Amino acid sequence: MARLNLVVISGLSGSGKTYALKVFEDAGYFCIDNLPPALLPTFVDLCNRQQSEIANVALGIDIREREFFSDFVGILERVKALGHAVQLLFLEAREEVLIRRFSESRRPHPLLPHLPVLDGIRFEKERVAELRRRADRIIDTSDLTVHELGELLAKQFQRESSDGGLTISLMTFGYKFGVPYDIDLLFDVRFLKNPFFIPDLKPLSGNDSLVRTFVLTDPEAVSLVEHIENLLKFLLPLFRRERRSYLTIGIGCTGGRHRSVAIADRLRERLTALGYEVGLKHRDIEKT
C-alpha cells in the first residue's frame, strides 16, 4: 500500500487558505479544495487501489458545523491508522486584520453575510475552536505578506524531491489563426522583415538555416531578442518568488511559420544558457 503524505488546510475565512492551497499546488502536491470530509477515506482508498503515483496531497477543508467535527476527527484518525502521514494546518489572523481584508475585497463574511463582518469572524472562531486545538501547526498570517506566507509554507512542507524550479514553455503561433488562450506573456514579432515575401524562403520554416539567418541577422531582431532576454531576466526570478512552477510565453507572427519560430528558438537557447528548463511548441508551423 502506498503511503500518502496528507496535509489538511483549514482555519478562519480571510486568513489565506486559498493562497496556501495554491502554494502546495505549485510545490507539486495534488490539491483538492472543499472536499467533503466523508469522502476522504474513499479518496485515500482510490489512490491505493489504483496504485496511483500521487504521494503528496493537500486538502482545503472547512469544518464550521459542530456536528461534522467528531466525524472529521475520526476520519483523520482512521487515515493515520492505515499508515498515512496526516498533518492538520490551521491558518488564522487577528480580528482587525480579517476585518480589513474583508473590507478590501468587499466580500461579506460567508457564515453571516447579512451581519457585520466582526460578528461573522467571532461566530466562526467559536465553530472552529476545537479544530484549532487539534491542529499540528497554527500559522498567524496577520503580519505576513503573501510572499512571506508562501516562503514559510514552502520551507515547512515542500517536498524534498522538488527543486522548486520554473518550467518555461515557448509557444509560436500565427495571428491569422488566433491568439492562444493559455499564455502568460505575449510578444508580437510581426514588425520584423518577413521571409514569406522571399520566393526561396517562403516554402521553408523558421527551423531552416536560411530562414534563421534571414530573421536573426536583422538588427531589429537582434535588438528584440536582447530586450526580451533582459526583460525575462528581471521577471523570471519574480515569478519564482511567487512559487510559480510554469510559465507559457507566446511568440506570434502573421502565419506562425517563419519569424516567430526563429525568434522563439533563439530565446530558448538564451534561456537554457541561463539555467532554465525550456520547452518549445510550434502551434501553426504546418498550416498555410
Same domain, 21 and 144: yes
Which of 93, 123, 157 is the last residue in one of the domains? 157
Domain that holds residue 210: 167-282
Domain total for the chain?
Answer: 2
250 within a domain of the structure (yes/no) = yes
Q: What pLDDT does residue 160 have?
A: 40
287 within a domain of the structure (yes/no) = no
Q: List per-residue pLDDT tens for the chain, 288 residues long.
A: 567 888 999 999 999 999 999 988 888 888 988 888 788 888 888 877 655 667 888 998 876 655 566 677 788 888 888 888 888 999 999 999 999 999 988 889 888 889 999 999 999 999 888 888 888 889 999 988 888 888 888 777 764 434 456 779 999 999 999 998 778 899 999 999 999 999 999 999 999 999 999 999 999 999 999 999 999 999 998 888 766 767 889 999 999 999 999 999 999 999 999 988 898 999 999 987
Q: What is the pLDDT of the chain when averaged over all its residues? A: 87
Same domain, 211 and 140: no
Q: What pLDDT does residue 161 have?
A: 39
Q: Under a CB-based contact definition with an 8 Å cutoff, are residues 35 and 21 in contact?
A: no
Which of 125, 157, 189 is the last residue in one of the domains? 157
Element (H, E) at 273: helix 259-273
88 within a domain of the structure (yes/no) = yes
Same domain, 208 and 255: yes
Same domain, 41 and 95: yes
Residues 6+ apart with CB under 8 A from 56: 4, 5, 7, 28, 29, 30, 159
**Cα(91)–Cα(152) distance, rounded to whole angstroms?**
12
Same domain, 123 and 216: no
Same domain, 81 and 100: yes
Same domain, 102 and 123: yes
148 within a domain of the structure (yes/no) = yes
Which of 157, 180, 209 is the last residue in one of the domains? 157
10 Å CB burial of residue 120 (0-12, 13-18, 19+) is buried
Same domain, 131 and 230: no
Same domain, 236 and 175: yes
List the one residue out of 167, 159, 152 whose CA is nearest residue 27.
Answer: 159
Same domain, 184 and 271: yes
